[in-house]
Structure 1
Amino acid sequence: MTPGQKPKRPFGLGAYLLLIGGVSLIAGVMGGITAVVEEAPDPIGPVVSAVAMTATMAAAFAACIWWWRGIDEAAREAHKWAWWWGGTGGTALGAILLTTLSLRDAEATPLQVGLTVPELVTAGMLTILLFQIAGYAIAWAVWWLRTR
C-alpha cells in the first residue's frame, strides 16, 4: 500500500443484505419465468428454463466474486479451510448415507418408494449438497474458534 492509499475496508452488513436481496429477487424472477414456461412445447420450455437458471447462477457467481473481494485475508482463509474440509467431509458422510440407504433395499423400485427417477436423482443431489453445507458451516465455526 502506498502512503496515499486508504486501507481496504470490508463491506458492511447493509451491503451484504442488499446483495442477498438482489440475488434473491433475480432468483425469484427467474424461477417464475421457469414455472411459466414449464408446460411450453419442446424446445422452448427447456431452453428458456436453462437460460433462466444460467442467468441466476451467473448473477450469484458475480455476487460471490464481489463479496470475496470485500473480505479480509483471515475470512478468506476460514472459508477456504471450511470449503475443503467441511465440503469434503459432508460429501463423504452424505455419500455414505445415500449408499447405505440405496443398498439396504436393492429390490425397491422408484415406484415403490413413491418417487420418479428424476425426483430420486434430485433428492440424492440435494442430500449431498445439504451435507456439504452443514460440513462447511461446522468447519467454518471450528476454524474461527481455533484461531480466536
Structure 2
Amino acid sequence: MNDLSRPRRPHGPGAYVLVLGTSLVLGGLAGAASAFFDDQPGPVGTAMTAALVSAAMAVGFTACIWWWRGIDEAAREAHKWAWWWGGSGGMAVGSVLLLTLMLRAEEQPLPAGIGSAPADIFVSGMMSILLFQLAGYSLAWAGWWLKHR
C-alpha cells in the first residue's frame, strides 16, 4: 500500500503548539532586533528594522500556512467563522471605544499608559483594536465549537 492511498491524519494540538511557539520566538527575535536597530539613525536603521520584522512575519506566515493545510474541514470552518464574526465584532467594539474617546478627548483625559506622543497614541489604538479582535475571535471560536459538538 502506498502513502497516497491512506487518508492523511489532520494536525493535532502538537502542531498548533509548535506554530504558536514558533510565532512567539519569531516575535521576540523581531522585537529584540528592532530594539537593537532602534539606535541606528536615519534610513538604514528603519530599513533594517523593516527587513527583520518582514522576515519574521514571512516565516511566521509560512508556518501558519503549513498548519492550515494540515487541519480538517471542521477546524477550518470554525476558524473562518470566528475570524469573520469574532474579529469583525471585536473591531466594531474597539472602534466605537476609540472613536468615542477621540470625539470626547477634551472631556475625558486619556489614561497615562496610552502615552502622549502621537506615535504612542497610534500604537495604543492599534493594539486596542487588535486585542478586541482577538477577544471576539476567541469567544466566537469557542461558541462555534460548543454549538457544533
Per-residue CA deviations over 1:86-140 (Å, capped at 9, x if unaligned) read 0111111100111111222347898x97520000001001101111111101111
Q: Which residue of 2 aligns with 1:91?
A: 91
Letter in 2 for 1:90: G
- How far did 1:78 drift? 0.5
Equivalence for 2:14: 14
RMSD: 2.4
**Percent same amino acid at aligned positions?**
51
Taking structure 1 as the reference length, the TM-score comes to: 0.87
1:51-81 Cα distance to aligned partner (Å, 9 max, x none): 0110111111111101101110000000000
Number of aligned residue pairs: give it: 146
Q: For residues 4 and 57 of structure 1, what CA distance do their matches in structure 2 show?
A: 32
Displacement of 1:30 after TM fit? 2.5
What 5-or-longer segments of structure 2 have no aligned partner? Answer: none
Matches within 5 A, 1:57-136: 57-106=57-106, 114-136=115-137
Aligned match of 1:35: 35
Residue identity matched to 1:135: G
Three-state SS of the structure 1 residue aligned to 2:39 is coil
TM-score (norm 2): 0.87
Q: Are the equivalent residues in 2 in contact too, given 1:31–1:52 (CA < 8 A)?
A: no
Which secondary structure state, in structure 2, belongs to the residue aligned with residue 68 of structure 1? Answer: helix
Deviation at 1:18, TM superposition (A): 2.9
Structure 1 stretches (4+) deviating beyond 4 angstroms? Answer: 107-110
